[in-house]
Homo-oligomer: A and B are copies of this chain.
Amino acid sequence: MDLNRKRNARTRPESNRLSHEIEDYLKAIYKIVESESPRPATTSAVAAALSVSPASVTSMLKKLHAMKLVRYERYYGVSILPAGRKIALEVIRHHRLLELYLQSALGYSWDRVDAEAERLEHVISEEMEDRIDALLGHPTVDPHGDPIPTKNGVVARPSHRGLTDLSPGETAVVCRVADQDGAKLRYLATLRLVPGARVTVVEKGPFGEPLVVRVGKSRHVLGAELASQVKVRPGASLRRKVRR
Q: Which residues of A contact B (CB under 8 A)?
A: 1, 3-7, 10, 13-14, 20-21, 44, 47-48, 50-53, 102, 105-108, 112, 115-116, 119-120, 123-125, 127-128, 131-132, 135
Considering only CB atoms, which chain B residue lies closest to A123 in the complex? Answer: B119
Which residue on chain B has the smallest CB distance to residue A50?
B7
Copies in the complex: 2
Beyond the given A3-B53, A108-B127, A115-B125, please list 5 additional residue pairs across the A-B interface where CB-CB is below 8 A. Answer: A7-B52, A106-B131, A116-B127, A119-B123, A120-B124
Name the distance in Å between A44's Cβ and chain B's nearest Cβ: 6
**Nearest CB in chain B: distance from A65 CB, A:** 22
User: Across the interface, which residues of B come within 8 angstroms of A112, CB to CB?
Assistant: 127
Minimal beta-carbon separation of A136 from chain B (angstroms)? 11
Q: Is the CB of B125 within 8 A of A116?
A: yes
Nearest opposing residue in chain B for A125, CB measure: B116
* A48 CA / B48 CA spacing, docked (Å): 42
A selection of 25 A-B contacts at a CB cut-off of 8 Å is: A1-B44, A3-B47, A3-B51, A3-B52, A4-B51, A5-B51, A6-B51, A10-B20, A10-B21, A14-B119, A102-B128, A106-B131, A106-B132, A108-B127, A112-B127, A115-B125, A116-B124, A116-B125, A116-B127, A116-B128, A119-B124, A120-B120, A120-B123, A120-B124, A123-B123
